[in-house]
């Protein structure tokens, strides 16, 4: 094909869809989206774009090496941006096998097909090709209250099946660079939030439960700390790494916004009290439930490397980003109802009712 393409795996999921939307608005290369539309993939996330014009959609699995091989041969992308993953820690505790299959075996198949494709390229196209692995800060394990933030040299110490599967995928990406020379890049991000996030994650779950007057479940004492990163900042960072990142390198991406889970929930409640007031404050719905197994106490990201080398810094302040996110869910109730299927409700009942939330 004469057009320039990038291949985005998991491009109909939360972060992947935001990346595709931003890419279509800011870049000239076309996008091929490969997504298997598991519970978190949603075609409505891309409804602002025109399929076949702004992007090409392929329904399929990254574990299907023949499919991936065919897509690479057909579209000749200049980059593969790999978002596709099982990503919810709670689900990984219930069914770790799915996480191993998608995050480890799937990434291996994608890498292997990409290696063969890259070897077939010549000249400038071969020199400019990139494979970017989108990963998580959870691979680093947990921090104490006074520990320094995770840097790119922090040893991996994953504590959940999800984190372990992503760590394995990261190691495979590293191995394909060092063993075969495949031009790879890896990013490790902190907790994302923003539009199109599947409502089993903390922020959308709390927003939607609060709107319906349901309990707002908090694991343990609610003092687990996370660094919060608006998804648009994350997408901007990925574009920077894809454009100018050093081959074989890892770049941490964070929002400089450490908050306890309890703080986040109280901020959401205060925002809803302002935007959608009720007779009683929304914070009265907060309910503590037994902690999940292996719950990491604190994550924090040292993002000085990407700032120093590539000039990226987060632009969305946590307070403003959270308010924008609450407003987005208030304004997009049709999207919410479209994703809250019977399977989703069954999962919420399994995960939270069993922990004591009514």
Catalytic residue from among 35, 86, 138, 267: 138
| CA–CA dist 168, 172 (Å, integer) | 6
The secondary structure of 147-198 as a DSSP string is: SPPB-TTSPP---SHHHHHHHHHHHHHHHHHHHH---EEEEEE-EEESTT--
Let me know if 233 is a catalytic residue. no
Catalytic residue from among 35, 137, 170, 296: 137
| CA–CA dist 276, 176 (Å, integer) | 51
Question: Up-side HSE of residue 309: CA atoms within 13 Å toward CB?
Answer: 18
| CA–CA dist 112, 205 (Å, integer) | 37
Instruction: Give every CB contact of residue 193 below 8 A, 6+ residues apart in sequence.
Output: 201, 203, 228, 229, 230, 231, 321, 322, 325
The secondary structure of 30-45 as a DSSP string is: EEEEEE---TT--GGG
- Enter the tokens of residue 129: 């090709």
Let me know if 162 is a catalytic residue. yes
Residue among 93, 139, 87, 40 at smallest CA distance from 291? 93
Let me know if 337 is a catalytic residue. no
Element (H, E) at 230: strand 225-230
**Number of helices (H) and strands (E), helices first, in the chain?**
14, 12
Instruction: Name residue, tokens 């986040």.
Output: 264
Catalytic residue from among 55, 75, 140, 162: 162
Helix %, strand %, coil % of the chain (to 5): 50, 15, 35
Instruction: Give every CB contact of residue 312 below 8 A, 6+ residues apart in sequence.
Output: 236, 237, 240, 253, 303, 306
| CA–CA dist 151, 139 (Å, integer) | 12
Could you give the residue numbers annotated as active site? 137-138, 162
């Amino acid at each position: 094909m004469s057009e320039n393409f990038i291949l985005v795996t998991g491009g109909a999921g939360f972060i992947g869809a935001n990346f595709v939307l931003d890419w279509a608005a800011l870049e000239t290369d076309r996008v091929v989206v490969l997504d298997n539309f598991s519970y978190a993939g949603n075609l409505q996330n891309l409804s602002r774009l025109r399929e076949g014009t702004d992007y090409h959609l392929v329904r399929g699995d990254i574990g299907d090496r023949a499919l991936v091989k065919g897509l690479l041969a057909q579209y000749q992308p200049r980059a593969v941006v790999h978002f596709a993953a099982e990503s919810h820690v709670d689900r990984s505790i219930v069914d770790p096998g799915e996480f191993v299959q998608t995050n480890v075996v799937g990434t291996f198949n994608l890498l292997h097909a990409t290696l063969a494709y890259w070897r077939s390229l010549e000249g400038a196209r071969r020199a400019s090709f990139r494979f970017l692995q989108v990963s998580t800060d959870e691979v680093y394990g947990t921090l104490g209250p006074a520990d320094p933030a995770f840097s790119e040299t922090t040893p991996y110490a994953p504590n959940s099946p999800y984190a372990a599967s992503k760590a394995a995928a990261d190691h495979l990406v590293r191995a394909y660079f060092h063993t075969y020379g495949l031009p790879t890049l890896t990013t490790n991000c902190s907790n994302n939030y923003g539009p199109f996030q599947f409502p089993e994650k903390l922020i959308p779950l709390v927003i939607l439960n609060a709107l319906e007057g349901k309990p707002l479940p908090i694991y343990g004492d609610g003092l687990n700390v996370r660094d919060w990163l608006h998804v648009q900042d994350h997408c901007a960072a990925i574009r920077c790494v894809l454009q100018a990142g050093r081959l074989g390198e890892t770049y941490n991406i964070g929002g400089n916004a450490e908050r306890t889970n309890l703080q986040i929930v109280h901020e959401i409640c205060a925002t809803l009290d302002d935007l959608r007031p009720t007779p009683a404050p929304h914070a009265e719905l907060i309910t503590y439930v037994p902690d999940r197994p292996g719950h990491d106490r604190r994550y924090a990201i040292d993002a000085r490397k990407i700032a120093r080398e590539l000039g990226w810094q987060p632009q969305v302040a946590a307070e403003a980003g959270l308010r924008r996110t609450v407003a987005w869910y208030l304004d997009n109730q049709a999207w919410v109802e479209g994703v809250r299927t019977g399977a989703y409700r069954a999962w919420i009942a399994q995960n939270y009712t069993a922990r004591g939330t009514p």
